Structure formats: C-alpha cells, structure tokens
C-alpha cells in the first residue's frame, strides 16, 4: 500500500513565529529549484558555522524526507527539536517515524504537535494515516473527520475520509465524502476512481463505469495516473462481459505503470484464463519480483508452474505462499487508503 504523506509546505517554515535564523538566499534558491544535493551541502556548511541553527536541521530533515532517507530525517528533526521545539519539528519527526514503521512514536509526536497547535488540520490528517496503518478504523475516521472540519475546502481530506469510510463498509457515507472531494477538485483522477469503487459496491455498475471513464478522460496523457481506473475498468468488464473483454484493460494498466505489481498480477491471471500460459508466466513472475510479500501472487504462480510441469518451482512458491498466508492471518488487517 501506498499511504499518502502529509503536505508539510516544504521549505516554508512559518508554523512557529520567528525562526532562530533566516534561510540564506542561496540555500532558498537551491531548494526552490529542487537542487537538493547542492542545498544539503550548503546547509551542512552553514551548520558548521552555526551549530545552534535549528532551521538548518529542519531543512535537512525535509530534504531527507523528500529523498527517502527517513532515518536521517528523523535524526535531523530530533536535533532541531533539541535546540528548539517547534510544530515543524514535531511534524517532521512524526512523518519520519511513520515511514520507519514506528507508528506509536509517530502518534506521540503528533500528540505533542496537537498540544502546540490544536487547530492544525495536517496533524489530524497524519494521525488518520497512522491509525489506518494500524488497522484502527474508528480512530482513523475520527481523525480524518476532524481534519475535514478544520479545512473543509481541502479535497484530499474529504478523499481520505471517504477511503476510511469505504474500508469500514460505510458505503453511503463514503460516497458522500468522495462527492464532496469532487466538488472541491473536479479533476481528481483518484477521487473519481474511488467513487466508482463505491458505486460498484452499491450495485450501480452503470454509474461506476461512468466514474471510471471520467477518471480516464481526466488522466489523459498522464499514463501512470491512468493505471488505477484502467485496472478498475478491467475488473468491472470481467464481471460484466468476461475475461477476454477485460484483458486489454489489464494490459493497458500494466503498460501505464510497469512498476506496479498489481497490474501484472491481474494481467497474468487473465492470460491464464485465456490459455496464454507463457505470457502469463512472465506477468506473474514480474508481479512477484515487484512485490514479493503478497501470498496470493505466489499461490497463482505456483498453480501456473504446476500446469507448466515445473514441479520444483511450483513447490517453492507454494511453500512461500503458505508462510505468507500464515503471517497475514496473524497480523491485523490494515486500512488501505491508497491504490497500491
């Protein structure tokens, strides 16, 4: 699952008044130009001259967060908070902890942030995501509702609330939340796709197809963004018309996002059903390579290897399937707020 990150307003440190030192112009220009490597070097140099510059550590934490170095982001944000507690520091620590799968620590930092500025919607947005990661449906919904109350014109908050309601099977409320998100941002591809999912669950396949087609119309040349609605069109078409009609949608989804295991998995399954076992093998092997931790991927690949008389490979993937399935049963199911 791809969980949405908080929108921290990178490189605009204005949550707490009077930061200890203003950002030097050359550094700000590099940050604005997304030249993060060079900016990082200049910030490190500046910190060598001004070791008590808490804003420098905050900027480093933001750079590390953007570039996926979450352990360094956590370390830099801690250095900033030790020098001067700030909302930015707490939020960066919460985000870094979340990305490092330290959910309880992330929640603790957010509680500190809430005590400092209780009316800030981003705090409750990130709390909602944390609770989703922990499978806590009611707490996630409550946090997203609070964020919507604080920022009702933010379409993404309505979207996230809708996703949490969808996972809780409160379909009518989810539909309303997605419609409010669309009112605020009519061009959101993922909201139209999520609305289509709800409409399918409410047995309105005609409206669901309209929503998916609207999403595909909006994503236009942004092929990567088209993968999710294309995949959903495949599911809907398979149920209504059969796998042969659905296969082109799965193929186009895999082409749009070749790094998304799910598209390859469902294309592979469709090819198995159509008897194209060799191409199905390639797709299912790609799905496993991209996401080794999904038990169902190994199960389908094991069944295919059996049909191809590749007994040893079938045995290996069946063993892996059983291990992952046991693990999944023991773990608490998480709320899925993403398309991954």
Tell me if 313 is assigned to some domain. Answer: yes
d(CA 33, CA 42): 14
C-alpha distance from residue 292 to each of 39, 285, 317, 320 (Å): 36, 10, 10, 9
Domain boundaries, position 320: 292-328
> For the chain, what percent of residues have pLDDT higher than 70?
91
pLDDT value of position 266? 98
Tell me if 47 is assigned to some domain. Answer: yes
Query: pLDDT at residue 35 above 70?
Result: yes
Last residue of a domain, one of 46, 78, 109: 109
d(CA 287, CA 292): 8
Tell me if 14 is assigned to some domain. Answer: yes
Tokens 């895999």 sit on residue:
254
Query: pLDDT at residue 238 above 50?
Result: yes
pLDDT value of position 87? 93
pLDDT value of position 121? 95
CB-based contact 57:47 (threshold 8 Å) = yes
Query: pLDDT at residue 2 above 50?
Result: no
pLDDT value of position 216? 96
Find the range with the poorest average confidence among 11-20, 79-88, 257-266, 311-320: 11-20
Tell me if 39 is assigned to some domain. Answer: yes
Query: pLDDT at residue 219 above 90?
Result: yes
Query: pLDDT at residue 152 above 90?
Result: yes
Find the range with the poorest average confidence among 87-91, 97-101, 205-209, 336-340: 336-340
Tell me if 134 is assigned to some domain. Answer: no
pTM, rounded to two decimals: 0.85
CB-based contact 295:321 (threshold 8 Å) = yes
Query: pLDDT at residue 138 above 60?
Result: yes
pLDDT value of position 21? 52
pLDDT value of position 340? 52
Tell me if 217 is assigned to some domain. Answer: no
pLDDT value of position 17? 42
Question: And the tokens for 267?
Answer: 């294309």
CATH number at residue 15: 1.25.40.10
Domain count, the chain: 2
Last residue of a domain, one of 90, 109, 128: 109
Confidence of residue 336 (pLDDT cuts 50, 70, 90): low
Instruction: Count H helices and E strands in the chain, helices first.
Output: 18, 0
Region 308-324: mean pLDDT is 96
Query: pLDDT at residue 339 above 60?
Result: no
d(CA 320, CA 279): 22
> For the chain, what percent of residues have pLDDT higher than 90?
85
Tell me if 87 is assigned to some domain. Answer: yes
pLDDT value of position 332? 59
pLDDT value of position 22? 74
Tell me if 143 is assigned to some domain. Answer: no
Position with higher pLDDT, 333 vs 324: 324
Confidence of residue 8 (pLDDT cuts 50, 70, 90): very low
CB-based contact 163:337 (threshold 8 Å) = yes
Confidence of residue 331 (pLDDT cuts 50, 70, 90): low
pLDDT value of position 10? 45
**289-299: burial string, b at 16+ Cβ within 10 Å, e else:** ebeeebbebbb
Last residue of a domain, one of 109, 144, 164: 109
């Amino acid at each position: 699952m791809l969980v949405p990150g908080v929108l921290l307003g990178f490189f605009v440190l204005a949550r707490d008044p009077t930061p200890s030192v203003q950002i030097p112009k050359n550094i700000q220009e590099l940050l604005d130009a997304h030249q993060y490597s060079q900016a990082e070097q200049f910030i490190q140099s500046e910190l060598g001259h001004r070791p008590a510059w808490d804003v420098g550590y905050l900027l480093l934490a933001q750079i590390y967060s953007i570039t996926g170095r979450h352990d360094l982001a956590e370390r830099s944000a801690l250095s900033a908070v030790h020098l001067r507690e700030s909302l930015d520091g707490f939020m960066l620590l919460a985000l870094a902890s979340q990305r490092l799968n330290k959910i309880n620590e992330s929640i603790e930092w957010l509680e500190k942030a809430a005590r400092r500025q209780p009316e800030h919607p981003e705090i409750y947005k990130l709390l909602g995501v944390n609770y989703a990661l922990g499978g806590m449906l009611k707490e996630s919904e409550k946090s997203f509702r609070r964020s919507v109350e604080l920022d009702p014109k933010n379409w993404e908050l309505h979207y996230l609330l809708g996703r949490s309601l969808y996972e809780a099977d409160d379909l009518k409320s989810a539909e309303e939340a997605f419609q409010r998100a669309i009112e605020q941002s009519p061009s959101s591809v993922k909201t139209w796709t999520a609305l289509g999912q709800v409409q399918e669950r409410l047995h309105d396949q005609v409206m669901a197809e309209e929503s998916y087609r609207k999403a595909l119309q909006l994503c236009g040349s942004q092929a990567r963004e088209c993968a999710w609605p294309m995949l959903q069109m495949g599911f809907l078409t398979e149920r209504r018309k059969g796998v042969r009609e659905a296969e082109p949608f799965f193929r186009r989804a895999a082409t749009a996002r070749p790094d998304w295991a799910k598209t390859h998995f469902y294309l592979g399954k469709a090819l198995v059903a159509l008897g194209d076992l060799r191409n199905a093998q390639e797709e299912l092997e790609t799905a496993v390579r991209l996401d080794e931790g999904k038990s169902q991927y190994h199960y389908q690949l094991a069944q295919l290897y059996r049909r191809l008389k590749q007994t040893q490979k079938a045995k290996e993937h069946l063993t892996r399937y059983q291990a992952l399935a046991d693990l999944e049963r023991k773990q608490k199911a998480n709320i899925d707020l993403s398309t991954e």
